[in-house]
Amino acid sequence: MKKKNKDNKKNKTVLLALSGGVDSSVAALILKKQGYRVIAAFMKNFSDTKNKLTNECNWVEEYKMAQKIAAILELPLIKLDFEHEYKTQVINPMFQAYKRGITPNPDVTCNTIIKFPLLWKHALNINADYIATGHYARIKKTNQGYELLQARDKLKDQSYFLSELSQKDLSHTLFPIGNLTKTQVREIAKKHKLPNHNKSSTKGVCFIGNIPLKSFLAQRLKQKVGRVLNEKGIAIGTHKGAHYYTIGERARPTSGIEIQKQALSQKRFYIAKKDMHANTLIVVPENHPLLNQSIFHIKSLHWINPKDKPLKNRLKAHVRIRHLGQLIPAELKIENSKWQFITSKGLEGVAPGQYAVFYGKDRVICSGEIV
């Protein structure tokens, strides 16, 4: 007896986010080969950065490549303009966070607030059944709901950036390349003569591109020279503004931090604390106890599946505090009505505003902003 196709893909429409990169291009190719009716959508979210060589807006270059890919794959291509939403809901809050001394993660909020909900909203308008992206992650449907899993390629896994998605998001989302490695994706693109098969991966802040972060912040947050102190409170240098820097960052001249030669003595210094009111940075040598913490508090927890929330508000899992960071054993629990996690060994360079993402083997369990 012929196995029934539970998705009946030939009658299903997918709105796929086509960025111009190789990952989303191969995702589109795979979906089309699987029998889906694929509609490509290019999302214009930021137009303030330009290519220094061509003086052309970055999004225009990406759009031209998306047009080429859509033509080769014979896909309809639409352009969605979410720039207003992106600037007001992601970029503006990002600047405000840095101004307060917090290090936000716009890549997480970009997915949660802009990319997935707005793409799905348009998908509903055109009667599409699913949305899809070129993210390296996997979705698994179980009797308990939907699970978000790490990608097969652990070196490209993007589940950290997707850790705030909901059951609703996962129920109508496809990640076609989640079971492939980056090498396999490029090989598929080359085999099908896609012109972006060897295109460099996108770097930098979501939709903004590879622009030095401090240069970007300087557009709105002006320089404010302050003192650099050692752990004893003695001034040993200057910096260009505490709002530009993050906990755990190395203090070096290229980032605008000047340390007195007599204080260096061949040591590397890292930022251990910031005082936004006094506009001072406290720096210490590497491996200093001030850089190492083992207890952290979380603003609020988001559960991928609310059913995973433990009845006794206590969970043992592995935590990651940055994209592709090491997975560390940790205990998550409520203490004084607030969520906190304790790691088996101390972590260095943990900055307020970053996300802690908790995993059970390959599965994302929950995530929350560190405070």
CB neighbourhood size of 182 (10 A): 16
* Side-by-side strand order, sheet with 37-44: 77-81, 37-44, 13-17, 130-132, 173-174
Give, in degrees to the nearest 5, the angle at Cα 254 between 95 and 86. 20
Query: What φ, ψ does residue 145 adopt, rounded to 5°?
Result: 135, -145
Euclidean distance between CA atoms 49 and 91, whole angstroms: 13
Nearest Cα to Cα of residue 132 among 288, 265, 28, 240? 28
Q: Catalytic pick from 29, 94, 110, 137?
A: 110
- Measured between its terminal Cα atoms, the distance across the chain in Å is 57
3-state secondary structure of 71: helix
CA atoms within 13 A on the CB side of 244: 26
On the 0-12 / 13-18 / 19+ scale of CB atoms within 10 A, 53 is: exposed
**C-alpha gyration radius of the chain:** 22
Q: Catalytic pick from 15, 108, 123, 206?
A: 206
Torsion sign over Cα 321, 158, 255, 266? positive
Tokens representing 120 are 């799905």
Per-residue H/E/C for 110-166: HHHHHHHHHHHHHHHHCCCCEEECCCCEEEEEECCEEEEEECCCCCCCCHHHHCCCC
Nearest Cα to Cα of residue 238 among 249, 219, 223, 216? 223
Residue 206 among the catalytic residues: yes
3-state secondary structure of 260: coil
Euclidean distance between CA atoms 368 and 364, whole angstroms: 12
| Residues recognised as catalytic | 110, 206
